[in-house]
Amino acid sequence: MSILVNRDTRVICQGITGKVGEFHTRGCLDYGTRMVGGVTPGKGGEKVADLPVFDTVAEAVAATGANATMIFVPPAFAADAILEAVGAEIPLVIAITEGIPVIDMARVMPVVRASKSRLIGPNCPGVITPGQCKIGIMPGYIHTPGHVGVMSRSGTLTYEAVWQLTQLGHGQSTCVGLGGDPLVGSSFIDILALFEADPDTHSILMMGEIGGSAEEEAAEFVKHHVTKPVAAFIAGQTAPPGKRMGHAGAIISGGKGTAEAKLAALKDAGIEVAASPADMGAAMVRAIENKHKNKKK
């Protein structure tokens, strides 16, 4: 078990004929992901990495039975690509593209919310269930199959955390990159609910960052609905207000979205907080041990 993706997930790539789309399609194939095709309008009938290319998502789904899509379409057209995937009723839509205008995403959000599709991203590294299925741009080899569920708003910071877990002998059930944009398809809460329900996930590590209030909402959710041990780190504790720190969503504005507020909410919910980014893996281990101790009492 795992969440979102496993060895049976059938994946297409929207934007497969682009340089980046092709590169990562090959990367996913190498990892063992069941890539079954790709979509680029006007290039139907071509082949990329021996996979059939279709003009539309609907055609690709009909021909391949795909149930997940990975989107590498350039920012100006990416929102439309997400809508096309949702229109074709693909259950899992993972948008890797960085730089989508936020108003475009504001048009996408109500459509996604009213549909049966789940959107992950945009501006995210993707989703991986170690040893089974990788959809996205993360380096596969740093992951190990195991029982820690990992979720984060950032890419390389997730790799860092996964690496620390692997070094400490803790494998991962599934790792989910939520994305660094202000509007993203899935929140910490959505993924927390999936991890809590997944018997193969025994503990949860989350990496948040400044901006917005997703971490505070996650803390509130953990308090009331999560029984598994949770550890967390918040990036940007030294970031000045009013400045966008790389990610479009990583900005403290109007006194909201500060690291202090997020850390306070996490601690209040009984979540083990990593003191520094070097402490993320160790914080997860502490959270697991504390839970065991409390159980024995």
Partner 1 sequence: MKIHEYQAKELLRAAGVPVLAGKVARTPDEAAAAFTALGTPICAVKAQIHAGGRGKGMVKGSTQRGVELAKSADDAARIAKGLLDQTLVTIQTGPEGQVVHQVFVESGCAIERELYCAILVDRHAGSPVLIASTAGGMDIEEVAHKTPELIITEPFDPDRGLSAWQTRVLSARLGLPAASWRAAEQFFKALTKAFVNLDASLLEINPLVLTKDGTMVALDAKMTFDDNALFRHKDVAALRDESEEEPAETRAAAAGLSYVKLNGTIGCLVNGAGLAMSTMDLVKYHGGEPANFLDVGGGADVKQVTEAFRIILSDKNVKAILVNIFGGIMRCTTIATALIEASKTVGFTVPLVVRLEGTEVEEGKKILANSGTTIITADGLTDAAKKVVAASKGLKA
* One character per residue 252-281, x = contact with partner 1 (rule: CB under 8 A): -xxx-------------------xxxx---
Q: Is 209 near partner 1 (CB under 8 A)?
A: yes
Task: Residue 24: name the closest of 134, 148, 119, 121 by CA.
Answer: 134
Options 5-13, 54-62, 101-109, 286-294: segment touching partner 1 (CB under 8 A): 101-109
Asked if residue 248 binds partner 1 (CB under 8 A), the reply is yes
Among 238, 295, 296, 297, binds partner 1 (CB under 8 A): 238
Q: 130 or 180, CB closer to partner 1?
A: 180
Q: Are 107 and 55 in contact (CB under 8 A)?
A: no
Q: How far apart, in whole angstroms, are the C-alpha atoms of residue 36 and residue 10?
A: 6
Task: Please spell the DSSP secondary structure of 231-251, one letter per residue.
Answer: EEEEE-TTPPTT---SSTT--
DSSP line for 77-95: HHHHHHHHHHHTT-SEEEE
Given CA atoms 186, 191, 192, 197 in this order, what sign does their dihedral have? positive
Q: Shortest CA distance to 150 belongs to which of 232, 272, 214?
A: 232
Residue 163 is a binding residue for partner 1 (CB under 8 A):
yes
Q: Using CA atoms, how far apart are residues 297 and 282, in angstroms rounded to an integer?
A: 23
Contact 60, 38 (CB under 8 A): yes
Residue listed under structure tokens 């995403």: 105
Q: Name the segment binding partner 1 (CB under 8 A); options: 8-16, 148-156, 198-206, 219-227.
A: 148-156
At position 163, the amino acid (one-letter code) is W
At closest approach, how far in Å is the CB of 55 from partner 1? Answer: 25
Is residue 139 a contact residue for partner 1 (CB under 8 A)?
Answer: yes
Applying CB under 8 A, which part among 7-15, 51-59, 179-187, 286-294 lies near partner 1?
A: 179-187
Tally the C-alpha atoms within 13 A of residue 4's C-alpha that lie toward its C-beta. 35
Side-chain half-sphere CA neighbours of 154 within 13 A: 24
- Nearest-approach distance from CB 77 to partner 1, in angstroms: 12
- Could you tell me the smallest distance in angstroms from the CB atom of residue 46 to partner 1? 24
Query: Out of 143, 225, 247, 292, which one is annotated catalytic?
Result: 247
Q: Residue 73 corresponds to which tokens in the numbers above?
A: 């379409």
Does the annotation mark 247 as catalytic? yes
DSSP class of 50: T
Is 235 or 283 the residue whose CB approaches partner 1 more closely?
235
129 half-sphere exposure, CB direction, 13 A CA radius: 17
Q: Candidates 8-16, 29-37, 41-49, 95-103 — which segment interacts with partner 1 by CB under 8 A?
A: 95-103
User: Using CB under 8 A, which of 144, 237, 258, 290 touches partner 1?
Assistant: 237
Q: How far is the CB of 65 from partner 1 (least distance, A)?
A: 29
Q: Considering the rule CB under 8 A, would residue 153 count as an interface residue with partner 1?
A: yes
List of residues contacting partner 1 (CB under 8 A): 75-76, 99-104, 106-107, 109-110, 113, 125, 137-139, 141-142, 152-160, 163, 180, 182-183, 207, 209-210, 212-214, 217, 233, 235-240, 242-250, 253-255, 275-278
**What residues are annotated to the active site?**
247
